[in-house]
């Protein structure tokens, strides 16, 4: 038996959804073991990492000047290499919560957005290698999302997946293990939060924090009219008095805030359909569009897209974890992984 093959028997195999808002890690044989925010808190004075993940996210907007809370990824692309490396190292250490640190470094399958350049893809691989990976393969997010949603991407049929993440929405038509037509746009979960923040400023003269806007979106956000009216509190700083203020808002007001972005997503989906070969469009008309990603959890987003396109639309089971579950499936299917993945960087077998 070759030495690398022997290493492969004992090496942990990880699938990673390295997202703008959240990072999820799948361990072969265990399932999803990490689901945390892609946020890092750094001490500016000495460069040390104070907190990572949910602990760091809880610090957003609450830190003294010498502590920087940052998201090292923008639209799924590395914006701060050093911080991303430290974040990945932290997550790797969480995975190795047993005595397996003595074993070889993990093999990693990691997802990248559709429109990454070769340099950006290499940065992802380099960050994972520096954080402790032995080998890194990258897979485009829509491919992993489609696999996680149970779509037969290897068949000669059209599979349309819309992956609504935190930093970007990726729209792709997939057939025979490849992407036929696709588009990545920056209108996604973070943009919806900004819509709510801007609405609060324009309508109520209220300055909201990022976390409050997200909580409001989760509490009462919707893309279509709801059967029952919903309300929640909106707390922020009054722009006129400078003092704290709380008001009640309902689902109709938040739907108005989100309306333009939802419409834009629908228009981009229609644009991709117009570019798709007619045979595949016929398949999609019959099979429908599958929604994945955390943004797919917005109430009525499937109905809004269906009304706009005239096609059946369904939300994947547990859409938030579809991408990372797709990487987990790939770890169990070597032939499929070899067909859809490619090396992130020059690989060196490490021990």
Of 269, 340, 351, 277, which is closest to residue 311 (Cα–Cα)?
269
Phi-psi region of 276 (alpha: psi -120 to 50; beta: other; left: phi over 0): beta
- 217, 192 contact by CB (below 8 A): yes
What are 132's two structure tokens?
């402790």
b/e map 258-271, b = 16+ CB within 10 Å:
beebbeebbebbee
What's the pLDDT band for 36 if we cut at 50, 70, 90? very high
What is the C-alpha to C-alpha distance for residues 202 and 329, in angstroms, rounded to an integer? 46
What's the pLDDT band for 9 if we cut at 50, 70, 90? low
122-170 per-position pLDDT tens digit: 999 999 999 888 889 999 999 999 999 999 999 999 999 999 999 999 9
Percentage of the residues of the chain whose pLDDT score is greater than 90: 75
Q: What is the mean pLDDT of residues 215-242?
A: 95
Parts of the chain belonging to CATH 3.90.640.10: 189-257
Of 84, 82, 78, 48, which is closest to residue 66 (Cα–Cα)?
48
Q: How many Cα neighbours within 13 Å face the side chain of 285?
A: 10
The lowest-confidence range among 20-34, 206-220, 275-289, 333-347 is 333-347
Of 224, 195, 210, 189, which is closest to residue 295 (Cα–Cα)?
189
pLDDT of 344 higher than 80: no
The lowest-confidence range among 58-72, 147-161, 213-227, 258-272 is 58-72
User: What residue has token string 């957005």?
Assistant: 113
Say what the pLDDT of residue 97 is.
66
What's the maximum distance between 2 C-alpha atoms anywhere in the chain?
A: 74
- CATH code linked to domain 158-187+265-320: 3.30.420.40
What's the pLDDT band for 350 if we cut at 50, 70, 90? very low
Say what the pLDDT of residue 309 is.
95
pLDDT of 5 higher than 90: no
What is the C-alpha to C-alpha distance for residues 43 and 84, in angstroms, rounded to an integer? 15
Q: What is the mean pLDDT of residues 26-54?
A: 91
Q: What is the mean pLDDT of residues 44-53?
A: 89
Structural domain 3-35+78-144+322-343, CATH architecture: 2-Layer Sandwich (3.30)
Of 189, 158, 185, which is closest to residue 174 (Cα–Cα)?
158
Q: How many CB atoms lie within 10 A of CB 85?
A: 20
The lowest-confidence range among 72-81, 228-237, 314-323 is 72-81
Say what the pLDDT of residue 214 is.
95
pTM of structure: 0.89
b/e map 137-157, b = 16+ CB within 10 Å:
bbbbbbbbbbbbbebebbeeb
Say what the pLDDT of residue 286 is.
94
205-220 per-position pLDDT tens digit: 999 988 899 999 999 9
- CATH code linked to domain 189-257: 3.90.640.10
What is the C-alpha to C-alpha distance for residues 163 and 195, in angstroms, rounded to an integer? 19
Alpha helices (runs of H) in the chain, residue ranges in sequence order? 3-10, 54-57, 81-95, 118-131, 141-148, 189-204, 210-220, 251-275, 278-287, 301-309, 322-332, 334-340
Parts of the chain belonging to CATH 3.30.420.40: 3-35+78-144+322-343, 158-187+265-320
Q: How far is the CA of 141 from the CAs of 25, 75, 230, 282, 325, in angstroms?
A: 14, 12, 34, 24, 11
80-111 per-position pLDDT tens digit: 899 999 999 988 888 876 554 445 688 899 99
Average pLDDT in the chain: 90
Say what the pLDDT of residue 10 is.
54
189-203 per-position pLDDT tens digit: 999 999 999 999 999
Cα 297-303-306 angle, rounded to 5 deg: 120
- 14, 27 contact by CB (below 8 A): yes
Say what the pLDDT of residue 104 is.
63
């Amino acid at each position: 038996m070759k030495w690398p093959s022997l290493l492969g028997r004992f090496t942990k195999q990880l699938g990673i959804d390295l997202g703008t808002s959240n990072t999820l890690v799948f361990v072969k044989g265990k399932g999803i073991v990490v689901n945390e925010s892609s946020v890092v808190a750094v001490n500016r004075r000495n460069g040390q990492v104070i907190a990572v993940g949910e602990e760091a996210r809880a610090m957003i907007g609450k830190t003294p000047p010498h502590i920087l809370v940052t998201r090292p990824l923008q639209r799924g692309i590395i914006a701060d290499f050093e911080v991303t490396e430290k974040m990945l190292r932290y997550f790797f250490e969480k995975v190795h919560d047993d005595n397996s640190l003595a074993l070889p470094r993990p093999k990693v399958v990691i997802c990248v957005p559709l429109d990454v350049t070769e340099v950006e893809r290499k940065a992802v691989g380099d960050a994972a290698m520096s954080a402790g990976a032995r080998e890194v393969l990258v897979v485009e997010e829509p491919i992993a999302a489609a696999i996680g949603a149970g779509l037969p991407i290897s068949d000669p049929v059209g599979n349309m997946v819309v992956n609504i993440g935190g930093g970007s929405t990726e729209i792709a038509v997939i057939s025979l293990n490849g992407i036929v037509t696709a588009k990545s746009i920056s209108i996604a979960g973070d943009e919806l939060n900004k819509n709510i923040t801007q609405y609060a400023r324009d309508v109520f003269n209220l300055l909201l924090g990022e976390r409050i806007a997200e909580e409001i979106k989760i509490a009462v956000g919707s893309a279509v009219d709801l059967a029952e009216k919903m309300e929640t509190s909106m707390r922020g700083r009054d722009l006129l008095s400078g003092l704290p203020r709380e008001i009640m808002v309902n689902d109709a007001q938040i739907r108005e805030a989100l309306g333009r972005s939802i419409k834009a997503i629908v228009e981009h989906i229609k644009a991709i359909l117009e570019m798709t070969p007619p045979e595949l469009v016929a398949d999609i008309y019959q099979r429908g569009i599958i929604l994945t990603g955390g943004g797919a959890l917005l109430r009525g987003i499937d109905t809004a897209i269906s009304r706009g396109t005239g096609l059946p639309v369904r939300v994947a089971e547990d859409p938030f974890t579809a991408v990372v579950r797709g990487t987990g499936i790939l770890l169990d299917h070597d032939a499929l992984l070899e067909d859809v993945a490619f090396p992130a960087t020059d690989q060196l077998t490490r021990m």
